[in-house]
Structure 1
């Protein structure tokens, strides 16, 4: 199944609730929420109060991406705020296995993210424990960056590895993706696409429709 996850970092924060409602009504399956702490990444975004407030305006899947140090401190709180999927970075977890099980205990689905230069080998031993792997195709921390080309081979290698193991794990890709280049990551094996400015810049409804029309070619 191919899924679009609009990243709210690309939205107009003065109209955030309205734009999330529009994305919902236009058919976006997930809402991607990037939580940044100013330590793991340079920027600071938002936290539990914003997610809790937004939870009341849509029933779509809340895909919460924790770009924070020691995410284990807040897993239960993010789940309580309405996170359906909680993704942590392998680079920020001292004991990744423990954090994975911590997320599972909340009832949320588990995602593990890899920064662009982090090799797939770092998560080989937990592949069968997670629901989704997020390949960052930009260095995290800022929206509007350009897609890093070597991400394509990384996605392809991961999909091949999952296929070899008989795993149906989702591959999400985040960074520099628009309807103009999404075919590249879909061809490589990704099935959940995060896009911020590619969704929210210009006509939101037309942008979402364009992504879904491309997805139809892969179903």
Structure 2
């Protein structure tokens, strides 16, 4: 698998939006990706940022961007984020009629391709599509809001996806998003996740970079 064994991806949804550039730089050297939550007030009942803000933020930091698109019609909008320089662009299976075709478009536009599954979406119908993706993002909350409580039962989807990836010898990141903190990251790592989105656990800490390092150590210990 390309890259570090453990990926820590702080979510800017939990950052100070008045100082996004500084907040991004605060985790440089400690975070692997910067998780950028894009919400459109249609697919989810919240509205966050779009391409213009991503473009500005991209110029402010060297951290690779992990853009998570919680939007309708990702086929129309997703490639633009790849063209802006995102490392990984993830869209929701629930919003896309042809996930494999969009994955091809994203790779052609220069990014990795990720498939996201919301809380109530089973993983089984998508297992055969995983060879076409670089990342599978499994929500461990309901998509659309930060600060929700982690739902441990959703790790069953992580376990199943990891078994399938191992059986197929897939180089697949399994990312978890929602409620990841000091007291939940070990269980997610034990289940087979290797990329972790953390919002409040990082940006609610006095030292966001140190919070990233602590999360990494906890995940690495659990994954051994």
**TM-score scaled by structure 2?**
0.93
Contact 2:66 2:88 in 1 (8 A): yes
**In structure 1, C-alpha distance between the alignment counterparts of 2:77 and 2:44, rounded to whole Å:** 17
**In structure 2, C-alpha distance between the alignment counterparts of 1:23 and 1:145, rounded to whole Å:** 22
Which runs of at least 4 in structure 1 moved beyond 3 Å after TM superposition? none
Question: Match of 1:52?
Answer: 55
- Describe the SS at the equivalent of 1:212: helix
- Residue from 7, 11, 15 that aligns with 2:15: 11
TM-superposed CA distance for 1:124, in Å, is 2.1
1:206 and 2:210 correspond: yes
Question: Match of 2:24?
Answer: 20
Question: Match of 2:106?
Answer: 103
**In structure 2, C-alpha distance between the alignment counterparts of 1:80 and 1:115, rounded to whole Å:** 25
User: 1:134-156: per-residue Cα shift (whole Å, max 9, x none)?
Assistant: 00001011000001121111111
**In structure 2, C-alpha distance between the alignment counterparts of 1:205 and 1:130, rounded to whole Å:** 29
1:32 and 2:35 correspond: yes
Aligned Cα root-mean-square deviation (Å): 1.2
Q: Kindly tell me the number of residue pairs found equivalent between the two proteins.
A: 218
Question: Match of 1:2?
Answer: 6
**In structure 1, C-alpha distance between the alignment counterparts of 2:94 and 2:106, rounded to whole Å:** 17
- Describe the SS at the equivalent of 2:136: strand
**TM-score scaled by structure 1?**
0.95
Q: Give unpaired runs (5+ residues) of structure 1.
A: none
Contact 2:127 2:161 in 1 (8 A): no
Question: Match of 1:119?
Answer: 122
Q: Give unpaired runs (5+ residues) of structure 2.
A: none
TM-superposed CA distance for 1:206, in Å, is 2.7
TM-superposed CA distance for 1:64, in Å, is 0.4
1:186 and 2:185 correspond: no
